[in-house]
Amino acid sequence: MTCHNCQIACNRFGKHRNGLQRYRCSQCRKTFTEEHAQLLGTMRLSIEKATSILKLMVEGMSIRSIERITGVHRDTIMRLLLEAGEKCEGLLRRKLQNIAAKRIQCDELHCYVMKREKHTSLEEGDDVGEQYTFIAMDADTKLVFSWLTGKRSTANTYTFMRDVYARTAWGSCPQITTDGWGPYVPAMNATFRDSVDYAQLVKIYGSLPAVREGYAPSRYVESISKVVTGNPDPQFVSTAYIERQNLTIRMMSRRFTRLTNAFSKKLSHLKAAVALHFAYYNFCRLHQTLRVTPAMEAGLTDHAWKRRGTRWDD
């Protein structure tokens, strides 16, 4: 520590009540405290309060409900979401590498930003309207190791499959199952080529009656499996686990809850909420069937991450 006035080295002078080291200049006798760790950037929110807000957020509570319970303004909560989402995404990008998955399931989860697609205009761009979250899950460990939020387009499908390919272990030959979304086939051929056993599971739904009362989804009729490349095992041609993960997201992230006004108003906040959810799901939340976190089952860590003192594990 250097004195701000005399520009000479200061001597240690005990510790502050918050545990930080204090220093005193031997010339001007002024005392200084070492710099605080800026875990939340420029936000003046205590770690305890921020932790409480994020806990409520990952358990499916809306922004305004959190505002009423914690007394923190909703603008501050959304700033915290962006800050936490950015850190979670960077953490997951570093940790989720060389995934030795034997069976991978992929799907897309629908939601929308600001308004429904039919109400959008060309001038509003791709940040408004329908948005899909592409998700890839290891069916054995339930680890979600790749995702992409954006339009359900061919370009995003290629980007998503390149990310899935980059995160799987080199030399592995996983069996991959997706739904019947058409761009998956050329995207799979462009990334994995013939190194995987790939099948599509196409679900057939019955037509809706001409007159219906209230909200009612289409009735499921049957599923048809289609082998695209390799020799996938018919027993494991399934999207059951990834569809259960879709339910988990809708229950744990308020932005995905149907028929409410809690949908995202900005795409950046939606992406941050998705990253926060997957960080909590993979490393903190015990899976009910596995009895451990998906990251523990995949061998990425040996314990469930939780808060200790004034910091988080790892």
Read off the pLDDT band of 310 (50, 70, 90).
very low
> Residue 282: what pLDDT?
96
How confident is residue 66, by pLDDT bands cut at 50, 70 and 90? very high
**Does position 247 have pLDDT exceeding 60, yes or no?**
yes
> How confident is the model at residue 264, as a pLDDT?
94
- Of the ranges 53-67, 203-217, 289-303, which one carries the lowest mean pLDDT score? 203-217
Write down the pLDDT at residue 45: 81
pLDDT confidence bin for 309, thresholds 50/70/90: very low
Q: How confident is the model at residue 285 (pLDDT cuts 50, 70, 90)?
A: very high
pLDDT the model gives residue 39: 63
Read off the pLDDT of each residue in 161-178 and give the average, rounded to a whole number.
93
| Surface-to-core class of residue 5, CB atoms within 10 Å of its CB (0-12 exposed, 13-18 middle, 19+ buried) | exposed
- Portion of the chain with pLDDT greater than 90, in percent: 68
Mean pLDDT of the chain: 89
Q: Is 50 exceeded by the pLDDT of residue 311?
A: no
